[in-house]
Amino acid sequence: MLERSLRAVWHPCTQMKHHETLPLVPISRAEGVWLYDFEGRRILDAIGSWWVNLLGHGNPRINAALRRQLESLEHVMLAGFTHAPAVELSERLAKLAPGRLGHCFFASDGAAAVEIALKMSYHYWRNSGRAKSGFVTLSNSYHGETLGALSVTDIALYRDTYAPLLRASAQVPSPDWRLAEPGETREEYARRCAKALEEHFERHAAETAALIVEPLVQCAGGMAMYDPGYLRHARELCDRFDVHLIADEIAVGFGRTGTLFACEQAGIAPDFLCLSKGLTGGYLPLSVVLATDRVYQAFYDDKL
């Protein structure tokens, strides 16, 4: 099967030639936190299949629910149609999410959710008569590998090859405490980074649609953790300068930081909340963008 896989499958984030000497690991089944190969050896899925599997492989309750749903409706588009699972999930997410995030736009994966949030933010300003099209992101950030998501990503490994295809975005210093000066506390460094964001907004708020952040942890950037105070400063600055705040909680959402959503640890709510990964625990591809009523109302028109 290994040779067949190398011939037929283009494996992601992989230097394929390396598998001539570093064989792929063939998996036959999974249960709980364990993966099993064809020889019966078990392997701890410590990465959660890329930070996705929160509820264990082969969870019997989830499997039973999927089987029940397949018997009645496997899929119908939400353009012009609706169905109970979409409504119930949207209502549940609105109750769980911080602030007044109550309108759910569904997609298939995390990068698509980021793309949707970026487009919604720009489109909101366009509908409001202010065509602000700039985006600000933290240095060393990662938001996905589609072109829009890469445009607000600041990791050279993912971005540089495709740089000619990307639109420009602005980077401000990451509050990653590892970058602080000797003796500087997390809180002090967070305030210094927030000051840099404030200075950027003072010059560029008029053309800036949104600031996008990975709340508390920049995962692909080396699990870079930062003080929740930065999020409070960012929320206050976005309010003061009339800039959207997009929270990319695709990796950190659903309990990974100790609260259901990482934003809760700062006591703030974004204008857009991007979720995926833990949303389905890896059982199905799904993502969602939650938006505020203020954003939604800017689209509630016969023509816009």
Contact 197, 237 (CB under 8 A): yes
Question: What confidence score (pLDDT) does residue 13 get?
Answer: 85
Summarised one tens digit per residue, pLDDT across range 165-193 is 999 999 999 999 999 999 999 999 999 99
Higher pLDDT, 12 or 260: 260
Q: Which two tokens stand for residue 180?
A: 């602080």
Summarised one tens digit per residue, pLDDT across range 115-164 is 999 999 999 999 999 989 999 999 999 999 999 999 999 999 999 999 99
C-alpha to C-alpha distances, 169 to 202, 205, 210, nearest whole angstrom: 16, 13, 10
Contact 83, 284 (CB under 8 A): no
Looking at the chain, the domain(s) classified CATH 3.40.640.10 span 89-297
Report d(CA 214, CA 273) in Å as an integer. Answer: 10
| Residue 99: strand, helix, or coil | coil
Query: What DSSP letter does each residue of 239-257 carry, written as one string?
Result: HHHT-EEEEE-TTTTTTTT
Query: What DSSP letter does each residue of 126-177 carry, written as one string?
Result: HHTT----EEEEETT----SSHHHHHT---HHHHGGGGGGSPP-EEE----G
Closest alpha carbon to 145 in 130, 134, 159, 132: 159
Q: What is the mean predicted confidence (pLDDT) over 229-234? A: 98
Summarised one tens digit per residue, pLDDT across range 36-76 is 999 999 999 999 999 999 999 999 999 999 999 999 999 99
Statement: residue 221 has pLDDT above 90: yes
Statement: residue 238 has pLDDT above 90: yes
C-alpha to C-alpha distances, 155 to 194, 245, 250, nearest whole angstrom: 21, 21, 17
Residue whose token pair is 């409504």: 87
Question: What confidence score (pLDDT) does residue 197 get?
Answer: 99
Question: What confidence score (pLDDT) does residue 302 get?
Answer: 81
The pTM of the full predicted model, rounded to 2 decimals, is 0.96
Looking at the chain, the domain(s) classified CATH 3.90.1150.10 span 2-60
Question: What confidence score (pLDDT) does residue 65 get?
Answer: 96
Residues β-bridged to residue 273? 247, 290
Q: At a CB cut-off of 8 Å and minimum separation 6, what does 170 contact? A: 134, 135, 136, 137, 200, 204, 208
Question: What confidence score (pLDDT) does residue 182 get?
Answer: 96
Is 89-297 CATH 3.40.50.720? Answer: no
Question: What confidence score (pLDDT) does residue 166 get?
Answer: 97
**What CATH number does domain 2-60 carry, 3.40.190.10, 3.40.50.720, 3.40.50.920, 3.90.1150.10?**
3.90.1150.10
